[in-house]
A and B are shown apart, each in its own frame.
Chain A
Amino acid sequence: MSKRIKVLKTYKIFIDGKFPRTESGRYTQLKKDNLTIANVCLSSRKDIRNAVLSARNAFESWSSKSAYNRSQILYRIAEMMEGNKNQFIEELILQGEEFNKAILEIDQSIDRIIYFAGWPDKINPIFGSVNPVASSHFNFTILEPMGVVGIVASEENSLLGLISSIIPIILSGNTCVTIVSEKLPLCAISLAEVISNSDVPNGVVNIITGSKDELAPHLAQHMDVNALGVNIDNKELKNQMFFQASNNLKRVVDVSKYKIEDSSFESPYIVKKFMEAKTTWHPIEKDFTSTNNY
């Protein structure tokens, strides 16, 4: 009996719920010990454009889902990951992580999703407010999602870092376009597959592989992106992005300030940074009462 030939996985990018190859047709070879592990798409600015378009189209329906519903969908991602643990562990090891650390990272990642999955319906009770204005108005402030967020995920922590970038941003109703780790992209594509199977509507999460130097500026300049969550150490690129972001006053959050591995990262304050406060006024009618003196 001849030896079974293993079926190799094709790593494609994730745009609008589909898995296309980059429109540019370019790829790079990910190697380990001089053996090719995978061919990874070297995406182009047109892929960024398509991804932003898809994220924009998805925003209305994702943000208008009930918080309870978003909560369940995020929980579903964690469930699906739990079932696909082995694949992630394999990929983490392929990318050079030790077995024990790989297990720790996948467990931490799943637990982190569970942590954030509980937040969608708890952000506003904590950070919203009813404001006691002096005039006869009912006045309240709630936090709303910003829209399309451009994410540049960390180079290290290819799974936990990615989860920590994406989940706190989309839980409030934002959609995102994520440029993932350049040297460790495998888990990102598997995560996309999990997301694709987890009731997350198409376009809410878009995942792009390729050169950050090339792609990130296009994301930073895009006029239909509302905010950036940037977790990179390359100071030059980061500054360039923040400079470019001012063209339409994108909100920028430097995620590299936070210790992703640390449990202190788990807080609603990171969620709040990608939300916008909206205050609504409405008059309150006060009755007049009559008395008679017949």
Chain B
Amino acid sequence: MSSKIKSLKYNGKWDFSTSIESIENLSIQKEYQLFINGKFQKPVDKKYFPSINPTNEQQLTRIAKAESKDVDMAVNSARAAFNGQWGEISAKQRAKYIYRIARIIQEKAKELAVVETLDGGKPIRESRDIDIPLAAAHFFYYAGWADKLNYAFPNRTPKPLGVVGQIIPWNFPLMMAAWKIAPALATGNTVVLKPAESTSITALLLAEIIKEAELPPGVVNIITGDGSTGNLIVNHPDLNKIAFTGSTQVGKSIMQSISGTNKRSTMELGGKAANIIFEDAPLDQAVEGVINGIYFNQGHVCCAGSRLFIQESVYDVVLRKLKDRMQSLVVGNPLDKNTDIGAVNSKQQLATIQKYIDIGVKEGADIFQLNCELPKSGYWCPPTLFTNVSQSHSIAKEEIFGPVLAVQTFRTTQEVINKANNTPYGLSAGVWTDKGSKAFNLASKLKAGVIWANTYNKFDPTSPFGGYKESGHGREGGLHGLSPYLNLE
């Protein structure tokens, strides 16, 4: 590439007008209660916390904070349901309840998508096309397993564990609830679920859906609160399992808390995925994969492809393509159908991201950010990439959970395998090459639970998801998502 050739310009000649998703007919209640034993009830201590719209920092609603007595009630009602109605109905009937949930989610898809976007800041394009459809698909998929479990485990008679406590993060609020609840119900367990503090609303809408689907009381309990409520769940003596999705740090402390108990666990934790581009790759599609890999959901994705490795011979051309492609990303109001990058989920998360960007600059990496106008209020971070990065830079080692990409280079296959695996994490990895044998080699050598070859950030209820090493244990999705909820001994 000659330096005399001017970079192309992508904005200013014909720009998209705003195209805001309608929020008419949408009612967000002033206050949300705990969903325990099939009913919405006020917390015993009458404490509430605000839920903030990250695009304007305004309070959307207030949410009940569950304390010890509320957690007890939720666990007790789940236990009663497990010992009672839910334990007694046939697997066939159980399946039908779960199917109902899937169908009602589909019916309410638009409302759910809009609320997800308002509460969490993610682009409506994503909540509409990914989060909500996948949540419904997850229930639909696992519903079908309920009466077929005997086929899944040869020579075993699977039995439910009992009552499972589930704690989910704020990046895919409804979808994570579906990933947790659907397999738990299909396998005959009952549930106490806590959504993340900053994104509780869609979980409570799901509670309404579960009520509408007429599940027996106590089968699913949804209680809200912050980390302290989570702790109460983790340490509750009458739970048989803890399923957690969140940071590796919290995951480790949960594992410590439940060590020495009989509680089972699944942990879906952090990541620092390598996305590897070989010189023979379909480069334009690889670049698109990098964009999807790191800028999807503002980079609030545990499997985000946050470390990009480019083979040196194509480094310049890939970087040029990447920077050009970034110019077309629209940052702003997540309710705008054209928005690619919405608001950062919370003030705290924005501070974390900003901290890492500052560290990146301080440690001597070269920063490139999309030059775009950001809204005055709310929490925003433009798509960012760092070049001139090495393995020892903090931004190449630690999970940032934001739209920040660290770009490195490599020369040989062995070198990139070593670099890619040189991390305590192991959730996912991406490989881009036109050569099948190379793709399979990398797929087998990379220590990660999900390998995307010539694609990235694809999810499906039939496809197991989960990590190696410090990215957690257990799988969600597919056949392999069943056994963490079953006793096979």
Note all chain B residues with C-beta closer than 8 A to A249: 248, 251-252, 255, 267, 269, 469-470, 472-473
Is B256 within 8 A of A246, CB to CB? yes
What sequence of 0s and 1s flags, for each residue 417-461 of chain B, a beta carbon within 8 Å of any chain A beta carbon? 000000010000000000000010001100011111111001010
Query: By the criterion CB–CB under 8 Å, are B451 and A279 in contact?
Result: yes
Question: Are A129 and B469 neighbours in the complex by a CB distance under 8 Å?
Answer: no
Query: A141–B253 Cα gap in the complex (Å)?
Result: 29
Q: Report chain A residues within 8 Å CB of B259.
A: 239, 242-243, 245-246
Contacts of A245 in B (CB 8 A): 255, 259
User: Smallest distance from the beta carbon of B470 to chain A beta carbons, Å?
Assistant: 5
Which single residue of chain B is at the shortest CB-CB distance from A126? Answer: B154
Once A249-B251, A281-B455 are accepted as A-B contacts, the answer to whether A267 and B155 lie under 8 Å apart by CB is: yes
Given contacts A139-B460, A257-B489, contact A279 B267 (CB under 8 A): no
Chain A interface size range: 35 or more
Q: Which residues of B contact A135 (CB under 8 A)?
A: 458, 460
- Residues on B with C-beta less than 8 A from A144 are 444
Q: Which residues of B contact A141 (CB under 8 A)?
A: 463-464, 478-480
> Per a CB cutoff under 8 Å, which of B260, B451, B460 touches A134?
B460
Residue contact B460 to A276, C-beta cutoff 8 Å: no
> In the docked arrangement, what's the CA distance between A242 and B473, Å?
15
Whether a CB of chain A sits under 8 angstroms from the CB of B485 is no
**Residue of chain B at shortest CB distance from A138:** B453
Which residues of A are found within 8 Å of B469, using beta-carbon distances?
226, 248-249
Check if B137 is an interface residue, CB within 8 A of chain A.
Answer: yes
Distance (Å) between the CB of A268 and the closest chain B CB? 9
**Residue from the list A133, A226, A276 in contact with B462, Cβ < 8 A:** A133
**Residues of B with C-beta under 8 A to A258:** 489
Contacts A280-B451, A283-B454; A139 near B252 (Cβ below 8 A): no
Please measure, in the bound complex, the distance between the C-alpha atom of A144 and the C-alpha atom of B253, giving whole angstroms: 27
1/0 per residue B270-311: CB within 8 Å of A? Answer: 000000000000000000000000000000000000000000
Residue A66 at the B interface, CB < 8 A?
no
Q: Which residues of chain A are within 8 angstroms of B359 by Cβ–Cβ distance?
A: none
Q: Say yes or no for B156: interface residue by CB 8 A criterion.
A: yes
What CA separation (Å) do A137 and B451 show in the bound complex?
12
When distances are taken between beta carbons in the complex, the residues of chain A under 8 Å from B255 are: 245-246, 249
User: Given A249-B248, A249-B252, A278–B448 Cβ distance below 8 Å?
Assistant: yes
Name the prevailing secondary structure of the A interface residues.
mixed
**In-complex Cβ contact of A269 among B156, B444, B463 (8 A):** B156
Cross-chain contact B463 with A279 (CB below 8 angstroms): yes
Q: Mark A280-291, 1 if CB is under 8 A from B, else 0.
A: 111100000000
How many Å lie between the Cα of A109 and that of B340 in the bound state? 61
Contacts of A238 in B (CB 8 A): 260
**A131 touches which one: B251, B269, B463, B489 (CB < 8 A)?**
B463
Are A134 and B137 neighbours in the complex by a CB distance under 8 Å? Answer: yes
**Does A251 have its Cβ within 8 Å of any Cβ on chain B?**
yes
Contact with B along A116-155 (1 / 0, CB 8 A): 0000000000100101111101010100101000000000
Q: What is the bound-complex CA distance between A185 and B317, given in angstroms? A: 62
Docked complex Cα distance between A100 and B358 (Å) = 72
Question: Is the pair B454, A282 in contact by a Cβ cutoff of 8 Å?
Answer: yes
Instruction: Output the least CB separation between A125 and chain B (Å).
Output: 11
Contacts of B466 in A (CB 8 A): 277
Q: Cβ of B475 < 8 Å from any Cβ of A?
A: yes
CB-CB nearest in chain B for A143:
B480
Residue in B155, B256, B454, B479 whose CB lies within 8 Å of A129? B479
B21-63 interface bits toward A, Cβ cutoff 8 Å, 1 = contact, 0 = none:
0000000000000000000000000000000000000000000
Instruction: State the CA gap A141–B458 with chains docked (Å).
Output: 15
Is residue B139 contacting chain A, with contact meaning CB distance below 8 A? no
A24 at the B interface (CB under 8 A): no
Q: Tell me the A243-261 residues at the B interface (CB within 8 Å).
A: 243, 245-249, 251, 257-258
Residue of B nearest to A269 (CB): B488
Please give the distance in Å from A152's CB to the nearest CB on chain B. 15
Q: Does B380 have its Cβ within 8 Å of any Cβ on chain A?
A: no
Tell which of B443, B465, B472, B479 touches A280, judged by Cβ atoms closer than 8 Å: B443
Q: Is B379 an interface residue (CB 8 A)?
A: no
- Chain B: which residue is nearest A264 at the CB level? B489
A132 CA / B479 CA spacing, docked (Å): 11
* A residues near B401, Cβ cutoff 8 Å: none
How distant is B322 from chain A, measured CB to nearest CB, in Å? 20
Query: What chain B residues lie within 8 Å of A243 (beta carbons)?
Result: 256, 259-260
**CA gap between A280 and B252 in the complex, in Å:** 27
Closest-CB distance, A65 to chain B (whole angstroms):
13
What is the distance, in angstroms, from A274's C-beta to the closest C-beta of chain B?
12
**Residue among A129, A277, A282 with the most chain B CB within 10 A?**
A277
**Min CB distance, A293 to chain B, in Å?**
32
Q: How far is the CA of A155 from the CA of B309 in the complex (A)?
A: 49
- What is the bound-complex CA distance between A239 and B259, given in angstroms? 6
Give bound CA distance, A236 to B15, whole Å: 67
A281 & B463 in contact (Cβ 8 Å cutoff):
yes
Inter-chain contact B449/A279, CB cutoff 8 Å: yes
Closest B residue, CB atoms, query A133? B460
Question: Once the chains bind, are A278 and B449 in contact (CB under 8 Å)?
Answer: yes
Determine how close the nearest CB of chain B comes to the CB of A96; give it in whole angstroms: 31
CB closest residue in chain A, given B262: A254
Residues of B within 8 A of A280 (CB): 443, 450-453
Q: Which residues of B contact A279 (CB under 8 A)?
A: 449-451, 463-465, 478
A119, B178: Cα distance in complex, Å: 35
B468 interface contact, C-beta 8 A: yes
Q: Are A137 and B473 in contact (CB under 8 A)?
A: no
For B269, list chain A residues within 8 Å (CB).
Answer: 249
Contacts of A277 in B (CB 8 A): 449, 464, 466, 475, 480
| Contacts A249-B469, A280-B453; A131 near B488 (Cβ below 8 A) | no
Q: Please give the distance in Å from A121's CB to the nearest CB on chain B.
A: 16
Cα distance A251–B137 in the bound complex, in angstroms: 30
Does B248 contact A129, Cβ atoms closer than 8 Å? no
Closest to B466 in A: A277
Residue of A nearest to B473 (CB): A251
> Can you give 27 contacting A-B residue pairs, CB < 8 Å?
A131-B479, A132-B462, A137-B458, A139-B460, A139-B462, A141-B463, A141-B480, A239-B259, A243-B259, A243-B260, A245-B259, A246-B253, A246-B259, A248-B469, A249-B470, A251-B473, A276-B468, A277-B466, A277-B475, A278-B448, A278-B450, A278-B451, A279-B465, A279-B478, A280-B450, A280-B453, A281-B455
Residues of A within 8 A of B (CB): 126, 129, 131-135, 137, 139, 141, 144, 146, 226, 235, 238-239, 242-243, 245-249, 251, 257-258, 267, 269, 276-283
Q: Which residues of B contact A (CB under 8 A)?
A: 137, 154-156, 248, 251-253, 255-256, 259-260, 267, 269, 424, 439, 443-444, 448-455, 458, 460, 462-466, 468-470, 472-473, 475, 478-480, 488-489
The 9 A-B residue pairs with the shortest CB-CB distance in the complex, in nearest-first order: A246-B255, A239-B260, A133-B460, A242-B259, A243-B259, A131-B462, A280-B451, A282-B453, A131-B463
Extra contacts besides A246-B252, A281-B453 (7): CB < 8 Å: A129-B480, A131-B460, A131-B479, A141-B463, A141-B480, A246-B259, A267-B155
